[in-house]
Amino acid sequence: MSKDSLNRLRLRIEDLDVALLKLLNERAAVSVRIGKLKGQNGLSIYDRSREEAIYGYLAQHNQGPLKTSEINRIFSEIISVSRKLQSASARDDSEPRMEWAGDSDTSALSGKTSVYGILGNPVAQSMSPLMHNAAFRSLGIDAIYVPFEVKDLESAVAGIRALQIRGASVTHPFKTRILGLIDQIDVTAKKVGAVNTLVLEGNSIRGINTDWTGAVRCIEGLLPIKDNHFVVVGAGGAARAVIFGITREGGKITLVNRTKDKGLALAEAFGLPFVPLSETENLSGDCLINTTPVGMYPNVEEMPVPKGVVSRYKAVVDVIYNPFKTRLLREAEAEGCLVANGFEMFVFQGVEQFRIWTGRQAPVELMRDVVLERLGTT
């Protein structure tokens, strides 16, 4: 190899980089204009069908040598930055409601302000305060939603009564432990075997599960549930909600879990066949659903099942939404599967909570946008 030819190739790379840079900035400028239009018209920044269409035409036009999976990886970053730009320009240009999308303004708090919160440990990473506070403010509801990092769950439940906290979300690791500490449990939450929502009624605490509604919404955005076969990986709280939702809507399920005893116990509770995680390669179905935390930030290169497994399914769902597209979903997309993350599941469990607590229709688009914006910055 001569030094000359290496230098020539490097110069060619430089030219191409400058051309790419120009195109990326042109694309960004168009995104800003789209964001403004969306802001003015109250449209959601995140549009799953549009993003799917982008990946679709990229795959169609890709002539290599880059693989579609590699192109998707690059564009996933470009699209994520575009969403962030769109959110910022939508906020600049929209109605006053978007002023409330950020962190809490505490100047309006008074003795009459209703307090809501989330019980979990850890909770610092939770997007629920951001989402619910934005929703309260946009509808002019005198309420605030606070993260509570709980050390002692029993005392926290007593604190809800003592402090008259109107309602709370319950998250990891308390969704099942809370069952034995509250006064009433909704029939549905009993069947799911987990509670993610508390409501204070007088001095009585009622437990509800809204995760399953979010799960159904998320899956049905991808394929019908009725009569399709789902392979669900994981046997924790998220798996319970997903399994309950699919069963209720008439889907068939095979349960897969790493720990056999835990998997068998859950499978037996719902009358499902069980397969150990080590045997996932023998399975196939219409849709694979990951309900484990494997692949979640910061362990973004991990996958809950071996890579080749995804090609045995038409669709793949991952309940994780940080990163927005896990490695599992990227591999599935490269195999031509339909994919969905847990973003819609998260937003819609919150939308249902908001309806239960306030009796009002939740501002869904705003709730989506504030979470997306925050995700885009982490």
Ligand X SMILES: NC(=O)c1ccc[n+]([C@@H]2O[C@H](COP(=O)([O-])OP(=O)(O)OC[C@H]3O[C@@H](n4cnc5c(N)ncnc54)[C@H](OP(=O)(O)O)[C@@H]3O)[C@@H](O)[C@H]2O)c1
* Inter-CA distances, 178 with 150, 157, 174, 185, 351, Å: 12, 9, 6, 10, 21
Residue 120: strand pairing partners: 149
Q: End-to-end CA distance of the chain: give it in Å, rounded.
A: 43
Decide whether 66 or 265 has the Cβ nearer to ligand X: 265
Please report, as ranges, the residues that interact with ligand X according to CB under 6 A. 172, 211, 214, 234-239, 257-259, 262, 277, 291-294, 296, 304, 319-321, 342, 345-346, 349
Q: Is the dihedral of CA 105, 115, 132, 110 positive or negative?
A: negative
Segment (H or E) for 204: strand 204-208
Residue with tokens 């399994």: 243
Using CA atoms, how far apart are residues 168 and 152, in angstroms rounded to an integer? 16
- Closer Cβ to ligand X, 86 or 322, answer by number: 322
DSSP, collapsed to helix, strand or coil, labels residue 298 as: coil
Paired tokens of 335: 């195999």
Q: Considering the complex, what minimum distance in angstroms separates the CB of residue 97 from ligand X?
A: 24
Measured from the CB atom, the residue of 170 and 366 that comes closer to ligand X is 170
Query: CB-wise, 143 or 375, nearer to ligand X?
Result: 375
Minimum CB distance to ligand X, residue 300 (Å): 12
Active-site position among 38, 84, 175, 325: 175
Do 367 and 135 form a contact (C-beta atoms < 8 A)?
A: yes
Q: How far is the CB of 312 from ligand X (least distance, A)?
A: 18
Query: What's the CA angle centered on 66, arms 60 and 72, to 5 degrees?
Result: 60
Q: How far apart are CA 150 and CA 202, in angstroms?
A: 23
Pairing of strands 167-170, 184-185: unpaired
Nearer residue to ligand X within complex by CB, 211 or 352? 211
Q: How far is the CB of 32 from ligand X (least distance, A)?
A: 29
Residue 54: CB minimum distance to ligand X, A: 23
- Contact (CB, 8 A) for 225 and 235: no
Pairwise CA distance, residues 7 & 129, whole Å: 54
Q: Which residue is nearest to ligand X (CB)?
A: 236
The residues that bridge with 290 in the sheet, in sequence order, are 233, 318
Q: Among this protein's residues, is 175 annotated catalytic?
A: yes
Residue 143 or 194 having the CB closest to ligand X: 194
* Residues belonging to the active site: 175
